[in-house]
Amino acid sequence: MRSPLLSCSGSEGRAVDAALSVEYAGGRSMLRRQHVGYPLHVTRGFYLDAARPDLLTLYLQSASGGLYAGDRIGLDLTIGRGAAFHLTTQAATVVHDGRASGAVQRLTMSVEAGAFCAVTNDPYVLFPGAELTLQTTATVADDAVLCVADGFAVHDPRAGGRTFTEFSSRLRIGRPDGQLLLQDAGRVSGDHLHGALGTFAASANLVVIAPPDRLPPAKSLQQAADACGALAGASAAPNGAGLVLRILAPDGGTLSRAMDAAFHVAAETALGVGLARRRK
């Protein structure tokens, strides 16, 4: 989950709580409320898709150079009835040495009746010593669509043989009445990366929650990612909630392209039209 935020450096890290609220009004989706403090920055909204002029696309940016030790970043998203919203990042996020305190990102989403919400992050790039925890919680109405994509790649800029400390994520998705649809948790350390991923150095998950008639065939998601040079596998989510796609890739660039290709397949089925590429 999956959060697309960056934070600025500092010995104590940064504690940031942000909130965005999107509503449908006047024939399009609009950002009705925002509470975003430094170092976060929200661009103006973009309407990039002529066939879906109601779809609001927003890039969430940062004035810093990545995630640092002690960062605690939170984002609350509310997508109102009938709104259509895509939140993405402007580039991959570098995760620096966690220095025993690590970085935590929390994302909470509420997707109301008939709404479409996609949160697709470029991969987190784990530098030596990086320690990142992702905590994602979502409430999704029965007829709404949620698409969440998160992934990581490993990079040692000095080629010194060091690796990241740990990457962990927890995703919990339910209905407004409290029904739990799925819960997914994973953790991997740099020392055990090759045991978990084999020869691959990058990994991602794409989760699509939608009614059955707005889901793509699982095979089409898998083929879209595979065509980019990745190795992907798709399966049904628990409780008939949707689909889960797991992706392995040799590097972050391949992973990013595979994630994007799979997202566009899911979005086209959910919205009924192909979306324009998001320039970055």
Residue 3 is predicted with a pLDDT of 43
Q: Which tokens is 28 given?
A: 């399009």
Three-state secondary-structure class, residue 44: coil
For 21-40, what is the mean pLDDT?
A: 91
Distances (CA, A) of 2 to 36, 54, 88, 114, 159: 18, 24, 11, 22, 28
| pLDDT tens sequence across 164-194 | 999 999 999 999 999 999 999 999 999 999 9
CB atoms within 10 A of CB 192: 12
pLDDT by residue (tens digit) across 59-74?
988 778 889 999 999 9
The whole-number average pLDDT for the span 263-277 is 98
Are 231 and 202 in contact by the 8 Å Cβ rule? The answer is no
Kindly indicate the confidence band of residue 39, based on its pLDDT and cuts at 50, 70 and 90.
Answer: low
The one-character DSSP state at 90 is: S
Q: The whole model's pTM is what?
A: 0.93
Tell me what pLDDT residue 62 has: 73
**Taking every pair of C-alpha atoms in the chain, what is the biggest distance, in angstroms?**
56
Q: What is the mean pLDDT of residues 189-201?
A: 95
pLDDT (average), residues 108-127: 97
User: pLDDT higher for 148 or 12?
Assistant: 148
How much of the chain exceeds pLDDT 70, in percent? 95
pLDDT per residue as tens digits for the range 85-114: 999 998 999 999 999 999 999 999 999 999
Distances (CA, A) of 116 to 6, 9, 25, 239, 255: 24, 34, 15, 20, 24
Q: What is the mean pLDDT of residues 72-89?
A: 96
Domain spans, the chain = 15-271
In this predicted structure, the answer to whether residue 11 has a pLDDT above a threshold of 60 is no
The pLDDT tens digits of the residues spanning 240-269 come to 999 999 999 999 999 999 999 999 999 999
Mean pLDDT of 110-136: 98
- What is the residue-averaged pLDDT of the chain? 93
Residue 222's nearest CA partner among 212, 208, 202 is 208
pLDDT value of position 40: 73
Lowest-confidence range among 4-13, 34-43, 48-57? 4-13
166 vs 182: CA distance, rounded Å: 23
